[in-house]
Amino acid sequence: MQHVTVDDFAQSFGTKVEDFPDECLKMIREKDFRYRRFDKRERDKVILQVLKKIEGDTQIIGATERKDVWEHGWAENLQSFVESGGALDTLIPKFIRENQPIRYAGDYIMPANQRFEYDFMTVFRLWLFGKYLSPFDTIYEFGCGTGMNLVLLVSLFPEKEFHGLDFVQSSVELINKIGENDAGTIRGRLFDMIEPDESLQLSQNSAVFTFGAIEQLAGKFEKFIQFLLHNKPRLCIHIEPTTELYDEDDLFDYLAIKFHRKRGYTENLLPYLQELEQRGSIRLVKVKRLYLGSLFMEGYTYYIWEPLLEEQK
């Protein structure tokens, strides 16, 4: 068995060990981040499984019927949250699957801990949110789903105001139910990122983030980015799958590209932001691939950018 070290986490996030807050170091110590690599025969079986999935998969991202799927999915989380009396584990989306191979550090691995991916991602969120979101009074998550990110943010910054926005009503109801348990610091609102509601005005000294939300827009993200440019939050963070950082000449990466494109997940967000930077509209603060993902693709590449005011251009 191998295990992910503190240095490995730092390399994945693109930072230094001394940059980690105590809560990250505590979680790295206490959670089980052991894993094993596959031998050639096992790895071939995993690749065959991935190829069969790509060939047989029928899900189309952005299709009309997908809204009903999300409505039903978040309604299940809402029901579980209410029936459990507010248990936070009920907010873990069901698409984070346990007990299967995942992608880490350029290869397939089998974790010893069924919640390896979720725990790794939680260490990442603790570091990312703590490092970049502390200066802001109000934080908006677009495509907030179950609200699991907002709950983590409240634990870090109980004094801040949080808004969870999603395009299905069950998510909004879940966010507002969570808000009832958090003295109203979290509020939900309907919002369609493909056709943004221009009446929404973001607060001053605010930050925005998305987590696997723009991927679901099937490439229709330009109006949302323009909405952000118009509102000028102080900082924007996107955690999204990004084909542009894969190596098409590497089999491991190529399979992820094939799966990404078979389903129709969003592409070209990073090149679009890079073009906006060249025009002088934004400043890209950081772009980093974590080399972590589910069996079929990596969803944790992050970009951080800030709109530029006229006097900064």
Please tell me the distance from the alpha carbon of residue 98 to that of residue 193, in angstroms, as a whole number: 30
Please tell me the distance from the alpha carbon of residue 297 to that of residue 59, in angstroms, as a whole number: 15
Write down the residue that tokens 């699991």 correspond to.
148
Which of 236-240, 249-253, 309-313 is predicted least confidently?
Answer: 309-313
Cβ neighbours, 10 Å, residue 306: 16
Which of 11-20, 56-65, 116-125, 227-236 is predicted least confidently?
Answer: 56-65
Query: pTM of the full predicted structure?
Result: 0.95
What is the band of 62 on the pLDDT scale with cuts at 50, 70, 90? confident
Which pLDDT score is estimated for 313? 58
Check if the beta carbon of residue 111 is closer than 8 Å to that of residue 117: yes
- pLDDT averaged over the chain? 95
Give the CATH number for residue 39: 3.40.50.150
Please tell me the distance from the alpha carbon of residue 308 to that of residue 150, in angstroms, as a whole number: 26
Please tell me the distance from the alpha carbon of residue 33 to that of residue 35, in angstroms, as a whole number: 7
Which pLDDT score is estimated for 92? 87
Indicate whether 137 pLDDT > 90.
Answer: yes
Nearest to 72 by CA among 180, 170, 147: 170
Indicate whether 246 pLDDT > 60.
Answer: yes
Per the structure, the count of domains in the chain is 1
Which pLDDT score is estimated for 99? 77
Please tell me the distance from the alpha carbon of residue 226 to that of residue 221, in angstroms, as a whole number: 9
Please tell me the distance from the alpha carbon of residue 253 to that of residue 107, in angstroms, as a whole number: 9
Indicate whether 228 pLDDT > 70.
Answer: yes
Residue 206 β-bridge partners: 138
The values of phi and psi at residue 161, to 5°, are -110, 135
The domain containing residue 59 runs over which residues? 2-312
What is the band of 180 on the pLDDT scale with cuts at 50, 70, 90? confident
- Angle, nearest 10°, between helix axes 148-156 and 116-132? 50
Which of 90-99, 245-254, 269-278 is predicted least confidently?
Answer: 90-99
Indicate whether 183 pLDDT > 60.
Answer: no
